[in-house]
């Protein structure tokens, strides 16, 4: 009820405008399950230190079970007068077990150490969900790569034709950042698993409670080393918001490829009907809305991260109410990613590639000019000169409307005596791609190894 957490010192309850400003139940209610788990663990710590006898502990745990049942069934919701989830649940527990027993639970804990712990439990749970969704996306990309074997496409830098590459190589280039995201989540989890519970408001508990017991009950690795850091820091929250923002950015880069590939000018992909949208006015349209929403939502994920960092900047130690502003942005990032990834993965899994079109464009734009230079180097021509000769050949072909393999033997010789007819052997897309057999290169054998190694790395996580 109103003012119930700090009634003693106050002659009146909060003004209605303060109550409205202060309220967080509309977003922190989703932490109710974690709050109750924390209360169970805390009750056991109180019992272990002799503040609750065996009967009291049993009654408290039964009361918490009933409280949870009411929350899960929707029978209990936050009341208008409740400020936050912690206060609301304590008030409701008291209606179940009575104020003598219910009023004992708050000993040795504060909403400051509670909330710092609960946000970690929430993020740890959702990190598992997000991990599985990222694995699904990696799998969808890897399956497309595998399906397209040795299919070629124009590789681009500056969005200009550069050198031919395998479609599988290009697709896997989008998968590796996602693998790093999975590894980042693993690494983050180590830091996120520290338990602030027991830090109290800021200075720690004077009641001889065992925070290690609470941590173990909650499945966390152990208590925090510094009670002020435990209650005042939110870098673990910001780091998770970063992981999700980077994930959004990586998905957005793949989305941008899909959007461009889906244009008439590129014509590299067709979208499945179930994963594209039409126009209300133009009957011919088939739009890549999922990819565009992915691109758009990455901006929102970046905004959540920067907003959170701005909240944290220059906050004095220890707890400040500003920290209540950590939850909405990171909840939104979690919900955004969990909404986006299933649709995005479906779009990728059902993409249809026009590999004939890609193969046709792969050698265009003199994309084999580097192969001429490399062939000359293998004939022991210095690279500087090889680059000059290859450039001169491009200019000659451009002026005469020829492709690189079309000049006659005599025409090659006019450009340079080093250009013997054998140069034609490297002037195919297949030859070019196969020649890039160095580590991490686009040669079919290397790409097959890459795919196997990516799959192994994801399975090993
Ligand atoms: N609702 C607060 C938060 O989200 C936790 C409560 C701490 N409030 C306080 N006045 N110390 O951070």
pLDDT digits (tens, 9 = 90+) for 390-422: 999 999 999 999 999 999 999 999 999 999 999
| Boundaries of domain holding 427 | 363-460
Sign of CA pseudo-dihedral 328, 320, 32, 127: positive
Check residue 3 and give left, alpha or beta (phi > 0: left; psi -120 to 50: alpha).
left
Is the residue at 217 inside a domain?
yes
Supply the mean pLDDT for the chain. Answer: 96
- The number of folded domains in the chain is 3
- Give the model confidence (pLDDT) of 35-63 as tens digits: 999 999 999 999 999 999 999 999 999 99
Is 279 an active-site residue?
A: yes
Q: Which of 360, 390, 405 is the last residue of a domain?
A: 360
DSSP tag of 386: H
CATH number for position 45 = 1.10.275.10
CA of 1 to the centre of ligand 1 (A): 16
Residues 425 and 327 in one domain: no
- Which segment of 10-14, 155-159, 305-309 scores lowest on mean pLDDT? 10-14
Residues 145 and 269 in one domain: yes
Is the residue at 420 inside a domain?
yes
Residues 346 and 422 in one domain: no
- Give the model confidence (pLDDT) of 99-156 as tens digits: 999 999 999 999 999 999 999 999 999 999 999 999 999 999 999 999 999 999 999 9
5 vs 171, which has greater pLDDT?
171
Cis before 318? omega within 30: yes
Residues 117 and 255 in one domain: yes
Give the residue, out of 106, 111, 120, with the most ligand 1 atoms within 8 A of its beta carbon, to mutate for a pocket test.
111
Q: Which of 107, 131, 162 is the last residue of a domain?
A: 107
Q: In the chain, what is the greatest distance between 2 CA atoms, to the nearest angstrom?
A: 103
Is the residue at 1 inside a domain?
no
The residue from 99, 279, 437, 453 that is catalytic is: 279
CATH number for position 326 = 1.20.200.10
Residues 219 and 116 in one domain: yes
- Give the model confidence (pLDDT) of 76-113 as tens digits: 999 998 999 999 999 999 999 999 999 999 999 999 99
Residues 204 and 318 in one domain: yes
Q: Which of 341, 360, 379 is the last residue of a domain?
A: 360
| Ligand 1 proximity of 237 Cβ (cutoff 6 Å) | no
**pLDDT for residue 4:** 66
pLDDT exceeds cutoff 50 at 3: no
Residues 180 and 73 in one domain: no
| Ligand 1 proximity of 114 Cβ (cutoff 6 Å) | no
Is the residue at 226 inside a domain?
yes
CA of 60 to the centre of ligand 1 (A): 24
Alpha helices (H) in 14-110, listed in sequence order: 16-22, 25-28, 32-48, 54-73, 85-97, 99-102
CA of 307 to the centre of ligand 1 (A): 19
CA of 355: how far to CAs of 193, 266, 268, 403, 427, in Å?
47, 12, 7, 21, 20
Give the residue, out of 28, 87, 115, with the most ligand 1 atoms within 8 A of its beta carbon, to mutate for a pocket test.
115
CA of 197 to the centre of ligand 1 (A): 14
- Do 40 and 105 touch, CB atoms closer than 8 A? no
Is the residue at 299 inside a domain?
yes
Is the residue at 265 inside a domain?
yes
- Give the model confidence (pLDDT) of 262-302 as tens digits: 999 999 999 999 999 988 888 888 899 999 999 999 999 99
pLDDT exceeds cutoff 70 at 2: no
**pLDDT for residue 160:** 95
**pLDDT for residue 48:** 98
Residues 385 and 416 in one domain: yes
Is the residue at 2 inside a domain?
no
Residues 36 and 98 in one domain: yes
DSSP tag of 436: -
Is 110 an active-site residue?
A: no
In this structure, what token pair is assigned to residue 170?
Answer: 């290009």
Residues 333 and 447 in one domain: no
Q: State mean pLDDT over 443-457.
A: 98
- Alpha carbon 164 to chain centroid distance? 30
The residue from 15, 26, 158, 206 that is catalytic is: 158
| Parallel/antiparallel/unpaired status of strands 222-223 and 194-195 | parallel
Question: What pLDDT band is residue 11 in, cutting at 50, 70 and 90?
Answer: confident
Is the residue at 384 inside a domain?
yes
> If DSSP codes are grouped into helix, strand and coil, which group holds residue 460?
helix
Going by C-beta distance under 8 Å and a sequence separation of 6 or more, which residues neighbour residue 279? 285, 287
- Give the model confidence (pLDDT) of 204-228 as tens digits: 999 999 999 999 999 999 999 999 9
pLDDT exceeds cutoff 50 at 1: no
CA pair distance 416, 347, nearest whole angstrom: 50
Residues 42 and 102 in one domain: yes
| Ligand 1 proximity of 23 Cβ (cutoff 6 Å) | no
Residues 386 and 271 in one domain: no
CA pair distance 361, 364, nearest whole angstrom: 5
Q: What pTM was estimated for this model as a whole?
A: 0.95
Q: State mean pLDDT over 251-255.
A: 98
**pLDDT for residue 259:** 98
- Give the model confidence (pLDDT) of 59-79 as tens digits: 999 999 999 999 999 999 999
CA of 114 to the centre of ligand 1 (A): 9
């Amino acid at each position: 009820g109103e003012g119930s957490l700090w009634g003693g010192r106050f002659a009146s309850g909060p003004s209605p405008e303060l109550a409205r400003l202060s309220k967080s139940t509309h977003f922190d209610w989703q932490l109710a399950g974690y709050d109750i788990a924390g209360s169970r663990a805390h009750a056991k710590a109180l019992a272990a230190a002799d503040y609750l006898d065996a009967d009291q502990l049993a009654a408290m745990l039964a009361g918490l079970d009933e409280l949870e049942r009411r929350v899960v069934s929707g029978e209990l919701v936050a009341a208008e007068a409740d400020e936050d989830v912690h206060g609301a649940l304590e008030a409701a527990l008291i209606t179940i077990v009575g104020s003598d027993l219910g009023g004992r639970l708050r000993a040795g804990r504060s909403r400051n150490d509670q909330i710092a712990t609960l946000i970690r439990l929430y993020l740890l749970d959702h990190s598992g969900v997000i991990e599985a969704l990222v694995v699904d996306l990696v799998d969808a990309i890897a399956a497309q790569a595998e399906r397209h074997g040795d299919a070629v496409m124009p590789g681009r830098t500056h969005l200009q034709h550069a050198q031919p590459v395998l479609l599988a190589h290009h697709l896997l280039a989008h998968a590796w950042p996602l693998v790093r995201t999975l590894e980042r989540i693993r690494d983050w989890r180590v830091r996120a698993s520290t338990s602030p519970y027991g830090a109290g408001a800021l200075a720690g508990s004077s009641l001889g409670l065992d925070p290690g017991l609470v941590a173990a009950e909650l499945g966390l690795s152990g208590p925090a080393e510094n009670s002020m850091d435990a209650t005042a820091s939110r870098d673990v929250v910001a780091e998770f918001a970063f992981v999700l923002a980077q994930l959004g950015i990586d998905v957005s880069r793949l989305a941008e490829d899909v959007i461009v590939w889906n244009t008439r000018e590129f014509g590299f992909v067709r979208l499945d009907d179930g994963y594209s949208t039409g126009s209300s006015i133009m009957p011919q349209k088939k739009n890549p809305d999922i990819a565009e929403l992915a691109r758009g939502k990455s901006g929102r994920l970046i905004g959540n991260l920067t907003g959170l960092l701005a909240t944290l900047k220059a906050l004095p130690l220890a707890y400040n109410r500003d920290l209540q502003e950590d939850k909405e942005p990171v909840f939104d990032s979690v919900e955004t990613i969990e909404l986006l990834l299933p649709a995005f993965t479906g779009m990728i899994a059902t993409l249809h590639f026009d590999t004939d079109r890609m193969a046709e464009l792969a050698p265009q734009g003199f994309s084999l000019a580097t192969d001429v230079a490399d062939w000359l180097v293998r004939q022991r021509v210095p690279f500087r000169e090889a680059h000059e000769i290859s450039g001169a050949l491009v200019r000659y072909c451009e002026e005469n409307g020829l492709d690189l393999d079309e000049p006659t033997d005599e025409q090659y010789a006019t450009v340079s005596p080093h250009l013997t007819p054998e140069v034609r052997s490297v002037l195919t897309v297949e030859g070019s791609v196969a020649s890039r057999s160095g580590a991490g290169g686009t040669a079919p054998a290397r790409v097959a190894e890459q795919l196997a190694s990516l799959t192994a790395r994801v399975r090993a996580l």
